[in-house]
């Protein structure tokens, strides 16, 4: 890092696919591994999305909701006291936590619900882990008068109680899922089962860059506004491009959204941070790209946490939004190509980072986003504190207060 | 094609020769290995034309509660893919109707398509049904299956377009599998009105035989659909018998149930 201050943008000619192949593939990853019943709906969705995304009216509606209702553009903020403390460089936060509903999830949901409305669907469903995607979906469903059912693992219902209450107040029905590990993976199974059953009447709003094509591509396009904005803000406020970008990776939507605008400038280092849970050696983690193997889950081929015989294993993270055994197929592609480096931080490190950001900057980050902050300590020290490090602060931490307070009591 | 390959393909087409076969589905090793084996033998005694054996998976997203539970229980008893193949091989020695394995793609991928196909053939399996591997994603698995003489049975759904029905009919070896309604596996009260229309649509397009499944749970369902499909798959209703009956009674109950279905199909 921290090469010359006057660096040139470097496009090496390597191409990082701007869009997936016709079969919905990023390299060998992605695809449509779903029951036959859903194939026609996915084909229709692909066409609907392509047409909408090419339509100036659709884009205008998407942008105006995100600005007038959602509060975009989100600020780019230089965290000076945090930078001082860490001595890794100038740390610049992209404040997705300041979106309406408290995370980047809103960007994607606005896009997908607009599509649902365009295709005259009266009901939306979603899966949620931390509850942020569920809250965003319930919110936009309320705004458009759609009925909304949210599947949530019953363990997550317990640990993200405030978000359950929010969804219910917003008029959504929260359906606890008791199968498997009772977290995000199981909620996703149940949402897919609902969609298979109600495919004619229902739009499935997926919360990350996962699932069958076109979801990973579509969700990326709806999230890339994070990086598109940040790129301009870096020039305007900092006067140069960042040297490094850091984001947490659950399914990978805030990271892809943040990285995409910068992808072809290979002088910019990119780091994706996965949930290391109790440590990689413990087996209790959710570090899919760091420690997983290639397989198929929830409609696409990607890296997975699984047993030797191909059963999906139960992940662990203190952060409900990262507690998922899969990851978006484009990340799998970016990992193999080496364009993005993926690392993991533990529950402990994330909790420390949560406190650090609170105390130095007066910001309570989501536990997911705290993983990105924690990763900064793994970067080399920067004597001059000169390199520019962009961090995607994907969400705010109100929802995590109980978890954090509990964890701190247990360790002290 | 080798001699044995040809035999296996024939076996699967032969089941339609002079009957509308009833094809029971049971998750491998559910509720115990013993009861599973006894129940399948009872079902074959009762006239089942072929047998589908479920390969348990941790995330069976095309399945309703009954089969989900059965997969979970089987996995807790260690019925992973290698064990499924062993159980199948044992079973093969006792029954002479075609055996079909049904399950999700990931465990097959991890074993390796080649290795899985070889072991399945050795265990006496005639074909596979992989619900999360639609025709568009099946190129490699179809090629490996062809090399080993394993049949591929693809699903046709009520949402499938006419053009796709033709594609699936061509891709399926032996026969296709129509899912009666958009949804997951599970017993249902009545045959949906839309199911008849759907099967008539398939009839007009498909050149190969096709069976119907998902929600078939009573003789009257088969009677209603008798002339609209070439065979009938019964899964959740049978798995529920295994769930609810005491172990000793389950094979007996299954025998009675399958026999009533076979009669309805005559
Ligand atoms: C605030 C926040 N950040 C990150 C994530 C992880 O998702 P993704 O990797 O798709 O950004 C979540 C998921 O719930 C979240 O709520």
Each residue's pLDDT tens digit, B239-264 = 999 999 999 999 999 999 999 999 99
Q: Is A216 in the pocket of ligand 1 (CB under 6 A)?
A: no
Q: Which atom of ligand 1 is nearest to the CA of A209?
A: 10
The residue of chain B nearest to residue A32, with distances taken between CA atoms, is: B137
- B85: which residues sit within 8 A by CB, 6+ positions away? B119, B120, B123
Whole-number pLDDT of residue A159 = 82
Q: Are B181 and B189 in contact (CB under 8 A)?
A: no
Instruction: Tell me the mean pLDDT in the region B79-86.
Output: 98
Whether the pLDDT of residue B22 is over 80: the answer is: yes
Distance CA A72, CA A376 (A): 26
Tell whether B185 is within 8 A of chain A (Cβ).
no
The residue of chain A nearest to residue B108, with distances taken between CA atoms, is: A310
Instruction: Tell me the mean pLDDT in the region B164-174.
Output: 97
Let me know if B63 is a catalytic residue.
yes
A-B CB pairs within 8 A amount to: 122
Smallest CA–CA distance, residue B126 to chain A, in Å, is 22
In this complex, the residue of A36, A200, A307 whose CB is nearest that of residue B134 is A36
Phi and psi angles of residue A278, each rounded to the nearest 5 degrees, phi first? -90, 15
CA of A96 to the centre of ligand 1 (A): 11
Let me know if A127 is a catalytic residue.
yes
Whole-number pLDDT of residue B5 = 58
3-state SS assignment for residue A392: strand
Distance CA B251, CA B237 (A): 14
Fold topology of B3-265: TIM Barrel (3.20.20)
Q: Which of B55, B56, B59 to mutate to test the interface with A (most CBs of A within 10 A)?
A: B59
- B261: which residues sit within 8 A by CB, 6+ positions away? B22, B216, B219, B222, B232, B234
Q: Are A25 and A328 in contact (CB under 8 A)?
A: no
Distance CA A325, CA A304 (A): 6
3-state SS assignment for residue A290: helix
The secondary structure of chain B, three-state, reads: CCHHHHHHHHHHHHCCCCCCCEEEEEECCCCCHHHHHHHHHHHHHCCCCCEEEEECCCCCCCCCHHHHHHHHHHHHCCCCHHHHHHHHHHHHCCCCCCEEEEECHHHHHHHCHHHHHHHHHHCCEEEEECCCCCHHHCHHHHHHHHHHCCEECCEECCCCCHHHHHHHHHHCCCCEEEECCCCCCCCCCCCCHHHHHHHHHHHHHCCCCEEEECCCCCHHHHHHHHHHCCEEEECHHHHHHHHHCCCCCHHHHHHHHHHHHHHHHC
- Token pair, residue A364, equals 């309570």
Whether the pLDDT of residue B106 is over 80: the answer is: yes
Residues of chain A with pLDDT under 70: 1-15, 17, 412
Chain B environment of A200 (Cβ under 8 Å): 159, 182
Chain B environment of A38 (Cβ under 8 Å): 159
Tell whether B109 is within 8 A of chain A (Cβ).
yes
CA of A271 to the centre of ligand 1 (A): 15
Let me know if A122 is a catalytic residue.
no
Distance CA A99, CA B143 (A): 49
Q: Among residues B175, B186, B244, which one has the least CA distance to residue B213?
A: B186
Whole-number pLDDT of residue A23 = 86
> What sign results for the dihedral spanned by CA atoms B132, B138, B141, B145?
positive
Smallest CA–CA distance, residue B75 to chain A, in Å, is 9
Whole-number pLDDT of residue B10 = 60
Whole-number pLDDT of residue B6 = 52
Q: Do A41 and B159 touch (CB under 8 A)?
A: yes
The residue of chain B nearest to residue A191, with distances taken between CA atoms, is: B61
Whole-number pLDDT of residue A41 = 96
In this complex, the residue of B64, B105, B157 whose CB is nearest that of residue A36 is B157
Whole-number pLDDT of residue A3 = 43
Chain A environment of B132 (Cβ under 8 Å): 33-35, 296, 299
Residue of A99, A100, A112, A208 with the most ligand 1 atoms within 8 Å of its CB, for mutation: A208
CA of A224 to the centre of ligand 1 (A): 14
Of A83, A317, A369, A394, the catalytic one is A394
Whole-number pLDDT of residue A4 = 43
CA of A320 to the centre of ligand 1 (A): 9
Instruction: Tell me the mean pLDDT in the region B104-108.
Output: 98
> Residue of the nearest CA to atom 10 in ligand 1?
A253
CA of A152 to the centre of ligand 1 (A): 15
Whole-number pLDDT of residue A2 = 42
Q: Do A196 and B154 touch (CB under 8 A)?
A: no
Whole-number pLDDT of residue A6 = 45
Distance CA A259, CA A92 (A): 14
Q: Is A397 in the pocket of ligand 1 (CB under 6 A)?
A: no
Q: Is A252 in the pocket of ligand 1 (CB under 6 A)?
A: yes
List pLDDT tens digits, range B36-50: 999 999 999 999 999
Smallest CA–CA distance, residue B180 to chain A, in Å, is 11
């Amino acid at each position: 890092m921290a090469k010359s201050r006057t660096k040139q943008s470097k496009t090496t000619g390597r191409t990082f696919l701007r869009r997936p192949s016709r079969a919905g593939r990023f390299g060998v990853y992605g695809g449509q591994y779903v029951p036959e019943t859903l194939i026609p709906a996915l084909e229709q969705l692909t066409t609907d999305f392509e047409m909408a995304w090419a339509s100036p009216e659709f884009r205008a509606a998407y942008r105006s909701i995100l600005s007038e209702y959602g509060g975009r553009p989100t600020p780019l903020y230089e965290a000076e006291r945090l930078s001082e403390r860490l001595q890794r460089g100038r740390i610049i936060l992209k404040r997705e936590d300041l979106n309406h509903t408290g995370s980047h999830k809103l960007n994607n949901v606005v896009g997908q619900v607009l599509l649902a409305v365009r295709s005259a669907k009266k009901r939306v469903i979603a899966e949620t882990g931390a509850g942020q995607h569920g809250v965003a979906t319930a919110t936009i469903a309320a705004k458009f008068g759609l009925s909304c059912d949210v599947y949530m693992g019953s363990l997550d219902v317990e640990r993200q109680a405030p978000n359950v209450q929010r969804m219910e107040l917003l008029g959504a029905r929260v359906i606890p899922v008791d199968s498997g590990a009772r977290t995000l993976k199981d909620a996703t199974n149940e949402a897919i089962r609902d969609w298979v059953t109600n495919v004619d009447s229902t739009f499935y709003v997926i919360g990350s860059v996962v699932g069958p094509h076109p979801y990973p591509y579509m969700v990326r396009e709806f999230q890339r506004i994070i990086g598109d904005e940040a790129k301009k803000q870096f020039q305007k406020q900092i006067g140069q491009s960042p040297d490094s970008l850091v984001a947490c990776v659950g399914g990978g939507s805030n990271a892809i959204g943040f990285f995409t605008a910068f992808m072809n400038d290979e002088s910019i280092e990119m780091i994706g941070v996965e949930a290391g849970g109790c440590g990689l050696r413990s087996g209790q983690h959710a570090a899919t790209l760091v420690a997983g193997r290639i397989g198929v889950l929830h409609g696409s081929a990607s890296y997975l946490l699984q047993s030797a015989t191909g059963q999906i294993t139960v992940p662990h993270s203190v952060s409900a939004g990262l507690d998922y055994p899969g990851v978006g197929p484009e990340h799998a592609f970016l990992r193999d190509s080496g364009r993005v480096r993926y690392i993991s931080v533990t529950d402990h490190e994330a909790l420390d980072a949560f406190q650090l950001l609170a105390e130095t900057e007066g910001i309570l980050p989501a536990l997911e986003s705290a993983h990105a902050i924690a990763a900064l300590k793994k970067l080399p020290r920067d004597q001059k504190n000169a390199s520019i490090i962009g961090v995607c602060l994907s969400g705010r931490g109100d929802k995590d207060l109980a978890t954090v307070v509990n964890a701190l009591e247990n360790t002290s | 094609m080798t001699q044995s390959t040809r035999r296996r393909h024939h076996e699967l087409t032969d089941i339609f020769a002079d009957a509308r076969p009833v094809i029971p589905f049971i998750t491998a090793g559910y509720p115990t290995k013993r009861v599973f084996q006894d129940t399948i033998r009872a079902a074959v005694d009762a006239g089942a034309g072929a047998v589908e054996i479920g390969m348990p998976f941790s995330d069976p997203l095309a399945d309703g509660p009954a089969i989900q539970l059965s997969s979970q229980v089987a996995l807790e008893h260690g019925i992973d893919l290698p064990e499924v193949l062993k159980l199948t091989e044992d079973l093969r020695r006792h029954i002479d109707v075609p055996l079909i394995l049904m399950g999700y793609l990931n465990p097959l991928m991890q074993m390796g398509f080649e290795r899985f196909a070889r072991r399945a053939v050795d265990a006496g399996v005639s074909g596979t049904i992989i619900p999360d591997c639609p025709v568009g994603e099946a190129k490699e698995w179809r090629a490996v299956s062809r090399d080993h003489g394993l049949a591929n049975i693809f699903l046709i759904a009520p949402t499938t377009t006419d053009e796709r029905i033709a594609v699936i009919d061509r891709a399926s070896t032996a026969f296709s599998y129509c899912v009666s309604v958009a949804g997951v596996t599970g017993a249902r009260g009545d045959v949906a009105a839309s199911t008849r229309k759907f099967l008539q649509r398939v009839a007009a397009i498909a050149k190969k035989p096709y069976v119907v499944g998902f929600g078939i749970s009573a003789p009257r369902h088969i009677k209603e659909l008798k002339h609209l499909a070439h065979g009938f798959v019964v899964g959740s209703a049978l798995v529920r018998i295994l769930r609810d009956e005491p172990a000793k009674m389950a094979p007996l109950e299954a025998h009675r149930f399958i026999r009533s279905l076979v009669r309805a199909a005559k």
